[in-house]
């Protein structure tokens, strides 16, 4: 990583256990501003848990998480205030079914950022416009396709103007023909300089959009590097086996 760009998101010595099983066994990770980092690995490798520890949806057992120099684990840190700066997009969208697309996007603006309704709706419409769904502002999630729902979910995170966005398998629940629209939005975000940490199985997308790829297995980072290196010339045997398995299937 470029020494001139101090990391915006930094994870040190992160460990997480569920009962007796340790799913994260000492993770160190630094993400630079505007960087797009992909985390890949077999299921159960701990990649989603790592992502969820970054905004403390999952409480780390030990270790440190810093965002923009603020210690997220410190008791004095207002985690709700910090979460506004960490947008999160989920595999199953998790839109609020009882609210319109615009309602979904503006709720946190109004209730967390304390914006007026007019302000929130202006910002919300801008966010929906950015994901190409301004025309669907009045639609309920049940009336939207999976791809549209996921783009609304991205707009919901985007509206709060986060400094980093976490994507937890954002296309895994989508029909193949809807994946492209979501990836196009992510590509646009990358072009606009958004910092992104992405857990995904979209290897082709990782290969041409990511700045860096991290391979995880059994709760540790096995290997990381530029996408070309990881996919074409992996150094570690486990990475090689994983990549080979992907191309076989």
Partner 1 sequence: MNDWSRFVEAFFKSNLIEQYLPSILQGVVTTIEIALAVVVTGLAFGLALAVVRSFEIRPLNVLIIILVDILRALPPLVIVLIVYFGLPNVGVSIPSFAVLWLVLSLVLAAFAEEIFWAGILSVPKGQWEAARSTGLSFLGTLGYIVLPQAVRLTVPPITNRTVAITKNTALGTVIGVPEILNQATTAQSFSGNATPLMMGALAYIILFIPVVALGRYLETRFAWRRN
Q: Select the residue interacting with partner 1 from 5, 6, 62, 111 (CB under 8 A).
A: 111
Decide: is 160 part of the binding site for partner 1 (CB under 8 A).
Answer: yes
Q: Which of 29, 39, 67, 90 binds partner 1 (CB under 8 A)?
A: 90
| Contact of 108 with 114, CB cutoff 8 Å | no
Give CA–CA dist 57/175, Å, rounded.
27
Contact status: 14 vs partner 1 (CB under 8 A): no
Closer by beta carbon to partner 1, 45 or else 106: 106
> Could you say whether residue 57 binds partner 1 (CB under 8 A)?
yes
**Of the candidate residues 19, 75, 97, 193, the single one contacting partner 1 (CB under 8 A):** 97
Q: In terms of CB distance, is 159 or 213 closer to partner 1?
A: 159
Query: Residue 188 and residue 133: Cα distance in Å, rounded?
Result: 14
Secondary structure of residue 29 in the 3-state scheme:
strand
Residue whose entry in the numeric block shows the structure tokens 């270790």: 63
CB of residue 37 to partner 1, shortest distance in Å: 19
74 binds partner 1 (CB under 8 A): no
Q: Closer to partner 1 at the Cβ: 151 or 212?
A: 151
Residue whose tokens read 């290969």: 207
Burial class of residue 2 in the structure, from the number of CB atoms within 10 Å of its CB (0-12 exposed, 13-18 middle, 19+ buried):
exposed
By beta-carbon proximity to partner 1, the closer residue of 133 and 221 is: 133
Contacts of 199 (CB under 8 A, 6+ apart): 38, 39, 40, 47, 48, 50, 51, 167, 168, 169
How many angstroms separate the Cα of 89 from the Cα of each of 38, 116, 139, 156, 171? 14, 25, 20, 9, 10
Among 68, 70, 134, 140, binds partner 1 (CB under 8 A): 140
Q: What does residue 174 show for φ and ψ, rounded to 5 degrees?
A: -100, 150
Q: Does 86 help bind partner 1 (rule: CB under 8 A)? A: yes
Query: Candidates 129-137, 153-161, 174-182, 199-207 — which segment interacts with partner 1 by CB under 8 A?
Result: 153-161
Contacting residues toward partner 1, per CB under 8 A: 55, 57, 80-84, 86-88, 90, 92, 94-98, 107-108, 111-113, 140-143, 149, 153, 156-157, 160
């Amino acid at each position: 990583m470029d020494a001139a760009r101090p990391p915006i998101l930094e994870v040190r010595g992160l460990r997480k256990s569920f009962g007796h099983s340790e799913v994260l066994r000492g993770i160190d990770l630094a993400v630079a501003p505007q960087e797009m980092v992909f985390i890949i690995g077999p299921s159960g490798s701990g990649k989603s848990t790592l992502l969820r520890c970054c905004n403390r949806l999952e409480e780390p057992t030990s270790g440190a998480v810093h965002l923009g120099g603020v210690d997220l684990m410190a008791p004095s840190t207002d985690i709700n205030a910090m979460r506004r700066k960490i947008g999160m997009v989920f595999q199953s969208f998790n839109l609020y079914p009882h609210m319109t697309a615009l309602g979904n996007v503006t709720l946190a603006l109004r209730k967390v950022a304390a914006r007026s309704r007019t302000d929130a709706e202006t910002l919300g419409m801008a966010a929906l416009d950015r994901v190409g769904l301004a025309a669907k502002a009045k639609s309920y999630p049940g009336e939207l396709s999976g791809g549209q729902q996921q783009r609304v979910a991205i707009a919901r995170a985007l509206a709060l103007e986060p400094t980093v966005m976490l994507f937890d398998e954002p296309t895994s629940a989508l029909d193949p023909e809807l994946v492209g629209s979501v990836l196009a939005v992510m590509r646009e975000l990358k072009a606009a300089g958004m910092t992104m940490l992405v857990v995904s199985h979209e290897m082709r997308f990782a290969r041409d959009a990511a700045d860096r790829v991290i391979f995880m297995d059994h709760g540790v980072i096995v290997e990381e590097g530029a996408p070309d290196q990881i996919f074409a010339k992996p150094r570690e045997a486990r990475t090689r086996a994983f990549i080979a398995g992907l191309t076989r299937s």
